[in-house]
A and B are shown apart, each in its own frame.
Chain A
């Protein structure tokens, strides 16, 4: 079991038209910083290592970096972590955090999981499942099935996330999972959704 490399992951996203929150991987601070300036602060820095699956647990993620000084310090700190292969610079995303995943089950083949993202997944385990291929109707059902659905619809005057985009994304992951048999597991957590679109902010693809 290994993590799919950053470049392979990006290729896969392109192939299946998965929308991803703009991100690049860097070895050196200088280029990283100029990229950060180009996409504009605030940005997020994350370590990339094929051996480290849970980056947050070891302090490998820094969010809301607003200026050059903080950027340099964070970059320096993250580089010191063992086995780090590069630092990912990403634009800070705002919206509702979703969780999407896939597991290849020995009995049923690829199974898609959906729920509220971030730490909610671990704590509330409010997740629905469907076996691939998933029809549009089943995708709709699995979205409505989670207890947190009203949060996605928007409470107290908040906007609803774009449900059609979410259905499209689930169907794309279903298609990818059926075709790319070498992929064992996928975690997209979080994917960030607003009333217009959904972008994958964090991704782990296991081969």
Chain B
């Protein structure tokens, strides 16, 4: 299925454009107009003259010239007529935002099937219905009614829930998180998750694909496609609805044990898809994978708080992440550090003590990054009165540039006082985690 005209439209028609504030038709117009210098925008509404300064046309058929993407946000009862017009116009692709289809029951399902029959005959891909739309920040394309356009980045987010995307966007904006694309695919009546995966496999801007999934239409096809795609780009997934099983009469142990979520997990593992438990992990794991090279198993933990170091060690060990012993060379390099501070341990995790100054972090980083069987670093910073957050951040940035093949993740624990350092790290594509365990989960995903 060719989705190029949906993802790279030269012209968009918003069918159901509205000037009524807070309506979907208004939100869509407002968002697509952000990209008006990049493409032609048409507003379609037979009952309005102008929407947000754009002259309204009565139908998509009144547009002179081709239309790549038609976004449909009209009441459900008129959707079918609008779709017929779009097919007559030979648009390149359709997104149906309108709800009231398969998700509401049998009558909606029948209507949905009718519409897809029409578009399939016309060989026009249809996204939705009952979805939020698509966004591609770098292309200044926001064909959705999301609250804002997020920053550009390497993560493509595909979501079965539209509302969730909105919240993710808001959170991402707050955390300088960037996306190559966001797709809400709704009822997947025609274009399905596999079609999107295959499109993002080719997409140069997309480094990692993150998925929020509720259910699949064709599990075996998903496995085949996901396996093919994950060999080129990592796929991270969160599966909702893990606990529904148990209604059916149970005949064998296998049936009672193989709850649907366990089968889904097996399917993900077998197709090379990384499964996570929380939305936060979904985003952070995807980001870490988009910003770092994969590495071998072996982490060096540097901390200025003994307790935090022990916790991180526990989390890493639980996930099967190796914590190699420091070798003689590394210990020798650390000598100057420990001669001044005789209490500093020379172990991994390396405790720099609470009063650690930036120079101590620098020496420690240089020593541990130099050890052969340490392939990644987690730097923990707790906050004392003498802790220099920004200077520490700068040192970490410098070292990460020097040792490009050894990912460095940070866990600067704290709030207001740590914020500037954290911003500096994030701006330089070093992922910081405000919770130790999340850093270990993210690191785990980087290990080959």
Residues of A within 8 A of B (CB): 1, 53, 99, 101-103, 105, 107-109, 111, 113, 115, 121-122, 125, 127-131, 138, 185-187, 189, 204, 206
Contacts and interface: CB of A to CB of B under 8 A. Distances in A.
Q: Is the interface of A mostly helix, strand, loop or mixed?
A: strand
B254 A102 contact: yes
27 contacts: A1-B251, A99-B253, A101-B253, A103-B252, A105-B258, A105-B263, A107-B216, A107-B218, A108-B220, A108-B223, A108-B263, A108-B267, A109-B219, A111-B258, A113-B257, A122-B253, A125-B257, A127-B262, A128-B266, A129-B258, A129-B262, A129-B266, A185-B255, A187-B254, A189-B253, A204-B252, A206-B252
Contacts of B220: 107-109
A109 B46 CA distance: 49
Contacts of A99: 253
B393 to A, nearest CB: 40
B266 A53 contact: no
A30 to B, nearest CB: 34
A-B CB proximity, top 6 nearest: A101-B254, A107-B219, A129-B266, A108-B219, A187-B252, A185-B252
The residue among B223, B254, B255, B265 with the most chain A CB atoms within 10 A of its own CB is B254
A103 B267 contact: no
B228 to A, nearest CB: 16
B10 interface: no
Given A53-B251, A103-B252, A108-B220, 18 more contacts: A99-B253, A101-B254, A103-B255, A103-B258, A107-B218, A107-B260, A108-B267, A115-B257, A128-B266, A129-B265, A129-B266, A131-B267, A131-B270, A185-B252, A187-B252, A187-B253, A187-B254, A189-B253
Contact of B252 (A115, A130, A186): A186
A189 B253 CA distance: 9
Interface residues of B, number: 19
Contacts of B266: 111, 128-131
A141 to B, nearest CB: 8
B377 to A, nearest CB: 29
Contacts of B257: 101, 113, 115, 121, 125, 127
Interface in B238-266: 251-255, 257-258, 260, 262-263, 265-266
Contacts of B223: 108, 131
A186 B251 CA distance: 10
Contacts of B255: 103, 185
A95 B218 CA distance: 41
A113 B258 contact: yes
Contacts of B218: 107
A186 B219 contact: no
A206 B253 CA distance: 12
Contacts of A206: 251-252
B257 to A, nearest CB: 5
A107 B266 CA distance: 12
Contacts of B253: 99, 101, 113, 121-122, 187, 189
A127 B255 CA distance: 12
A127 B262 CA distance: 10
Nearest to A187: B252
B267 to A, nearest CB: 5
Interface in B265-288: 265-267, 270
A113 B254 contact: yes
A115 B257 CA distance: 11
Interface string B295-323: 00000000000000000000000000000
Interface string B354-386: 000000000000000000000000000000000
